[in-house]
Amino acid sequence: MKRMGMRLAMIAATAAVGSVAMAGNPDRAGSAGATQLLVNPWARSNGWSLANSSTLRGVEGMYGNIAGLAHVRKTELLFTNTRWLEGSGVTINAVGFGQKLGESGVIGISATSFSFGDLPVTTVEQPEGGLGTFRPTQANIGLAYAKTFSNSIYGGLLVRVVSESIANVRTSGICFDAGIQYVTGPSENIHFGIALKNVGPAMRFSGDGLSVQGLITTGSDQLTLQQRSADFELPSMMNIGAAYDFNISELHRVTVAGNFASNSFTKDQFTLGAEYAFKKMIHLRGGFLWEQDITDKELSETVFTGPSAGISVDLPFGDEKKSALAIDYGYRATNPFSGVHSIGVRLSL
């Protein structure tokens, strides 16, 4: 089994090298769809901008690196509410569940939905509205399986169904994630991780909203023309991360982590972060995201300005104090708007 895990690690590393060679394509920026897949809905990893992709544990791994799901001890339930770009009125709700199966397997399911509020219906004849309102919807549901191959190697696969719609136009599709984590060091304090995300077939919008009605020029008969929507690709990407734990004592730990995100349709991103843990109960973290031209307001292609911060409080309970109820908070600075605020509640049994 350990040999199988090593083979998976070698395959993932080979794929990573090939992807990095073709990494980042800003000329294709804006041509991908379903960009909801690039939004991290979880509070804890948002606190350091997903610098911890190599050390993700539990349900949150179903976004950053699915291999992290394999670390669920027995059962884990997580809910997070995010105020996306404070002031825009957009909120994100995410729920995730992980359950241990047998000695080494874990199955997980997650669901994320975006709320944009009520938007006015407008037409060419009535651009100011007055025709009522509609609610756009964006959501995705993921089903995952992760496995512990040895004391050092963890891997997982995830399939995700994506759905987007307005009143009369909709689309749906499917994509896949795969990831692996490797832990080594004298006290298992060195971490590496590779995750391939959002790989799937192209999607296309359809619905009555793409049809046009008009009169035939030679008579009074009305004709309906159905327009075809162009296909669009999914925003596939790869995360490559590493981290090092400084176990100062049984009470104090400091982790330094970094992640490289190779994007197929936007600029590549580098993230550095650090986390301080006291008694495994209080966690303080911060990070910084960098991509080319991020400090230039005219040329920057991301809403994030770089800094992020977060805090978690874990309250252990049970006979052996291995179960915990946790509250997580994460913040990411943005321009424009007033940042991204995420707060979550986690139950680990």
Q: Are 62 and 53 in contact (CB under 8 A)?
A: no
pLDDT for 219 equals: 58
C-alpha distances out from residue 98 to 63, 75, 138, 293, Å: 13, 6, 23, 39
> Residue 208 — φ and ψ, nearest 5°?
-65, -20
Whole-angstrom distance, CA of residue 34 vs CA of residue 223? 32
The reported pTM is: 0.87
pLDDT at 2: 43
How far apart, in whole angstroms, are the C-alpha atoms of residue 52 and residue 60?
A: 11
* pLDDT attached to residue 24: 54
CA 69, CA 71: separation in Å to the nearest integer? 5
Nearest to 237 by CA among 19, 68, 11: 19
User: What tens digit of pLDDT does each residue of 193-246 get?
Assistant: 999 999 999 999 998 888 776 656 655 666 667 778 889 999 999 999 999 999
* 2-25+38-121+133-348 CATH, one of 3.20.20.70, 2.40.160.60, 2.40.50.140, 1.10.10.60: 2.40.160.60
Q: What pLDDT digit, counting tens, does each position of 64-86 carry? A: 999 999 999 999 999 999 999 99
Which residues contact residue 286 at a Cβ distance below 8 angstroms, ignoring those fewer than 6 apart? 47, 48, 273, 274, 307, 308, 309, 310
Distances (CA, A) of 110 to 56, 69, 106, 145: 15, 11, 13, 12
For the chain, first and last CA: distance in Å? 27
Q: Which residues 6+ apart lie within 8 Å of 270 measured at CB? A: 258, 259, 260, 261, 289, 290, 291
Ranges of residues in the chain with a pLDDT under 70 are 1-30, 213-224
Nearest to 264, CA basis, from 12, 18, 25: 25
Going from N- to C-terminal start, the domains of the chain cover 2-25+38-121+133-348
Q: What is the pLDDT of residue 207?
A: 87
Mean pLDDT computed over every residue of the chain: 88
Compute CA distances 132 → 28, 116, 128, 129, 212, whole Å. Answer: 36, 16, 11, 7, 20
How far CA 65 is from CA of 73, 229, 239, in Å, comes to: 17, 32, 8
Burial of 145 (0-12, 13-18, 19+ CB in 10 A): middle
Rg (CA), the chain: 22
Characterize 315-343 residue by residue with b for buried, 16 or more Cβ atoms within 10 angstroms of its Cβ, and e for exposed: eeeeeeeebbebebbbbbbbeeeebbbbb
Q: Residue 79 has what pLDDT?
A: 98
Q: What distance in Å separates the CA atoms of residue 160 and residue 283, rounded to the nearest whole number?
A: 30
284 closest CA partner among 240, 318, 314, 323: 314
| Residues facing residue 100 across a β-bridge | 106
Tokens of 325: 């109820």
Question: φ, ψ for residue 167 (rounded to 5)?
Answer: -60, -40
DSSP state at residue 66: G
CA distances from 95 to 13, 98, 112 (A): 31, 11, 7
